[in-house]
Chains A and B, each alone.
Chain A
Amino acid sequence: MSEIKKFMYINRKAPYGTIYAWESLEVVLIGAAFEQDVSVAFVDDGVYQLCKGQDTTGLGIKNFSATYRALGDYDVNKLYVEKESLDARGLTLDDLMPLKYEDENDDYAEKDSIRVVSSKELAEIFDQQEVLFNF
């Protein structure tokens, strides 16, 4: 693929109970494998996808929390979490997995991938995208 586009994947649903979160994650990784400019947003119940300490033993479903940690390897390092959604659920940044990436342009320094943004900031970020996917 010669042309790089700005892709945004918007996650709105809790990680388990529906297939949306896992499907989204797979599509994100596929898009990134084709070296597109990928951003991911987590809003509404979607913020639960990044919560620490998930245990799916009782559900009989694969726990894919660990896969979010691979996003940095795929150069997916713009993860936007809506502040209002965190607040409404009594969550803070400390409740989320500390996702990192290595910045190739800064001597491989480890940096945080998650950025907490307001609803208004997120709307502006959506506005800059060329392709939006809703999950």
Chain B
Amino acid sequence: MGIEVNGKVYETDEEGYLANLNDWNPDVATAMAKDEDVDLNESHWEVINFLREYYEEYQIAPAVRVLTKAIGKRLGPDKGNSKYLYELFPYGPGKQACKYAGLPKPTGCV
């Protein structure tokens, strides 16, 4: 499988996660979101960029509970809660945001 962005096809797994982390660029995220009828705004990018930094530092995609806590610490309690994150990423902030961020599916995600 793959996703076509600006004329280039990027390899993905059967659930749409990028096969190669290094293939990622913001246009890939925008295209993935568009496929799911999501227009990425500043709030989405905040979470996506946070996830990429988290992966860079720890080499894993965090479980949603850990993500929620870490977002709260970084961006404040009004953003570090399930309601806020699920409004941004209705398919699950772990699964959906990690996909847009070009990361693997979170460890411990079913």
A-to-B contact residues, CB < 8 Å: 26, 29-30, 32-35, 62-64, 66-67, 69-70, 73-74
Contacts and interface: CB of A to CB of B under 8 A. Distances in A.
Counting chain B CB atoms within 10 Å of each CB, the highest count among A35, A62, A66, A73 belongs to: A73
Nearest to B60: A67
Interface string B54-65: 000111101101
A66 B57 CA distance: 7
A34 B62 CA distance: 13
Given A66-B59, A67-B60, A70-B60, A33 B70 contact: no
Contact of B59 (A32, A64, A73): A64
Contact of B107 (A30, A35, A62): A30
Q: Ordered nearest first, which 7 A-B pairs have the shortest CB separation? A: A33-B108, A33-B63, A30-B108, A70-B58, A73-B66, A29-B107, A66-B59
A34 B109 CA distance: 10
B70 A73 contact: yes
Contact of B65 (A33, A64, A67, A69): A33
B22 to A, nearest CB: 13
Interface in B65-83: 65-66, 69-70
Given A73-B70, A74-B63, A74-B66, A29 B58 contact: no
A65 B67 CA distance: 20
A74 B69 CA distance: 10
A67 B58 contact: yes
Given A33-B65, A73-B69, A74-B66, A67 B108 contact: no
Given A30-B108, A69-B57, 20 more contacts: A29-B63, A29-B108, A32-B63, A32-B108, A33-B65, A33-B66, A33-B108, A33-B109, A35-B65, A62-B59, A63-B59, A64-B59, A66-B59, A67-B58, A67-B59, A69-B58, A70-B58, A73-B66, A73-B69, A74-B63
Counting chain B CB atoms within 10 Å of each CB, the highest count among A26, A33, A64, A66 belongs to: A33
Contacts of B70: 73
B105 to A, nearest CB: 12
B49 to A, nearest CB: 18
